[in-house]
Amino acid sequence: MSALAVVPREAGLAAVASGEPGADERFYRQWAETVLRWVLRLGGPALDHEDVAQTVLLTALSRAGTWRGGNERAWVFGVTRGVIANARRRAWLRRVVGLDTVAEPVAADLTDEVAVARQRRRLVQEALEALPAAQREVIVLADLEGHTAPEVAEMLQIPVGTVYSRQHAGRRALGARLTALAEPGRSR
Phi, psi of 155 (to 5 degrees): -60, -40
Out of 1.10.490.10, 1.10.1740.10, 3.30.420.40, 3.30.70.580, which CATH number does the structure's domain 1-101 have? 1.10.1740.10
Residues 6+ apart with CB under 8 A from 17: 64, 65, 67
Nearest to 99 by CA among 90, 108, 110: 90
Mean pLDDT, rounded, of the chain: 79
Structure confidence at residue 78 (pLDDT) = 82
- Level-2 CATH architecture, domain 103-188: Orthogonal Bundle (1.10)
Phi, psi of 44 (to 5 degrees): 90, 165
Name the pLDDT band for 26 (thresholds 50, 70, 90): very high
Burial of residue 13 (number of CB atoms within 10 Å: 0-12, 13-18, 19+):
buried
Q: How far is CA 10 from the centre of its chain?
A: 26
Please, what's the largest Cα pairwise distance for the chain? 69
Per-residue 3-state assignment (H helix, E strand, C coil) for 100-129: CCCCCCCHHHCCHHHHHHHHHHHHHHHHHH
Look at 188 and 23; give whichever has higher pLDDT. Answer: 23
Domain positions in the chain are 1-101, 103-188
What's the whole-model pTM score? 0.49
Strand ranges in 42-148 using DSSP code E only, listed in sequence order: none
What distances in angstroms separate CA 155 from CA 5, 124, 137, 160, 162, one per listed residue?
37, 24, 10, 11, 13
Task: Looking at mean pLDDT, say which of 64-73, 85-94, 163-172 comes out highest.
Answer: 163-172
Per residue in 140-173, pLDDT tens?
778 876 778 987 887 678 899 999 999 999 999 9
Name the pLDDT band for 10 (thresholds 50, 70, 90): very low
Phi, psi of 107 (to 5 degrees): -50, -35
Question: Is there a common fold for 1-101 and 103-188?
Answer: no
Per residue in 27-67, pLDDT tens?
999 999 989 988 877 666 678 889 999 999 999 999 998 88
